[in-house]
Structure 1
Amino acid sequence: MNYLRTAILLAGLTGLFMGVGFLIGGQSGAMIALLVAAAMNVFAYWNSDRMVLSMHGAQEVDARTAPDLFRMVQQLAGRASLPMPRVYLMDNPQPNAFATGRNPQNAAVAVTTGLLNQLSREEVAGVVAHELAHIKNYDTLTMTVTATIAGAISMLAQFGLFFGGNRDNNNGFGIIGTLAMVILAPIAAMIVQMAISRSREYAADEMGGRIVGDPMWLASALARIDNAAHAVPNVAAEHNPATAHMFIINPLSGARMDNLFSTHPSTQNRIAALQELARQTGTGGGLRAPAAPRRPAPHGPWGGAAGGTDSRRGPWG
């Protein structure tokens, strides 16, 4: 049902994009809009991961530079039957994470230093499993397409404001229709983008809880990240709010009304769904209090000598 809903919403977003093109230039405008959307999505398909990682100053790490984190991702990817994604670290005090990439063979998982320093290993494992679920479900590609079309709709709406629409297309809307388009089309696009993102977050929570083996680890992580996100600013996300939907928890402070159309469902509802999953799978059922914040490792987040963690103990040490 989630996949069908996502497909319907994506189709609606594409139709809205063509509708804006029609209001601007009639049938030819609709076709041009469709071609523009296709071109933008081709570009995003091949380059979106590098662009997003660069926006957030993410640096790639490996088994030498971040052995514990790398091994955790490696083991959880194996549990999820996924190829090993690239692993990135963002020097950011806000605990958060996201995944990107056009497919599982070309994917990346990025976490902040705040996530490693403030969450327990179990909670970090839950977050990583959630991001791997996004990769397995191809959500990283879906959300890239969604963000691209939504951005293009806003751009076209601005063109409509400047050019006043096509006076020869007989659509009967005139200047009133153009003004309505400029105001309502971007709002409609944000609502559709929000609906798609929310449905994918619930699906990734469920699959992530199953991958990690205990849904309550992810539930505890969500509670801790949600609390911290309101207190610790994410400067890179504030400068690039269009990428906020990619993070496991909305990284924006809301100071500029960025939360008006939040792309993330209620954290309390997500935790409740994970609690229900824990009861169904017999792995718990009550959200335990978050562990004490971790202190930064002396040799960087989860540093130390490679091989310092016994892999037989699992990715959560």
Structure 2
Amino acid sequence: MEVTNQTTMTKFIFNGITGILYLQLALFVMFLTVYLLSLMANTLIIFTVVMKPTLQTPMYIFLGNLSFLEFWYTTVTVPKLLAICLSQGVTISVSVCIAQYCFFFSMGATECILLAVMAYDRYLAICNPLRFSLLMRIPVCLHFSAVFWTRGFITHLVPTILISHLNFCDPQKINHFSCDSDPIYKLSCSDTFLVEALGYTCSSVVILSFFLLTMSSSEHIVVIIIRLSSLEAQKKAFSTCASHLSVVTIYYGTIIFANVRPPAKYNFTIGKVVSIFYCVVTLLVNLLIYTLTNKDVKKAFTKVVAQKSFLLVRNIHKI
């Protein structure tokens, strides 16, 4: 890269999304609404799964993990995105930017693994129901949880270390609303070939391998559902995995488009649009699928709130 100024940078300035004021305000309202709804919905699911024993089953344990993951997944990027929508020249230090990159991609890898585990859970429940309770006991689910959280964060540890050793020079403006990999590489005046190749390889291997595992489980599920003789049985079986398939399709569709490609093919405008989609829009979809349309969660949450309200009122009367 040709360098115009060798002064090492300690902070970046976000270019943002658009320079049109009224459009930025409209985006701020939309992003804030989706973000708050997502936080409330994910908190609701976590609270309900923890407090309601009837929901402490493999499916809801993994759903609770997914909600906890998305709570932090969005908190890593959306608050800074909201600040960018409200003002020009929002800055971020290089160290915080690299930390944001690490957490964002690590949690993305964790979600890939988690979605594959959830697909395997549904596969066992539908294709091998007699052994399901033995194969997916609560200790096994907790072991799975520890594995996908640990492996997800290990995946991008080496690329993060390599990025932390890069030098960054003028211009200091980052052409994005978050610390995505390609905008970071663009600002470096060091040789980024190794870290780009390694980061691209890690992302592609994680995304494609767990996508194929997820699709393999889903394929077996679809085959079993089609073979069911009763239409009622088909509907019941499909209803248990339809929401998960919807989330998988939307999530993988966006991240494959954004990350599984040669680094030289990156387009910053398209990259920002796709990032908004899987940072914000997929949250709204997950909110609708896992919370507002989930009868078990809504029913359990209502019971928990009713019980807590009753205890609170009784304690007040005692006082």
- State which structure, 1 or 2, has the greater radius of gyration over its C-alpha atoms: 2
**If the length of structure 1 is used for normalisation, what is the TM-score?**
0.29
TM-score by length of 2: 0.29
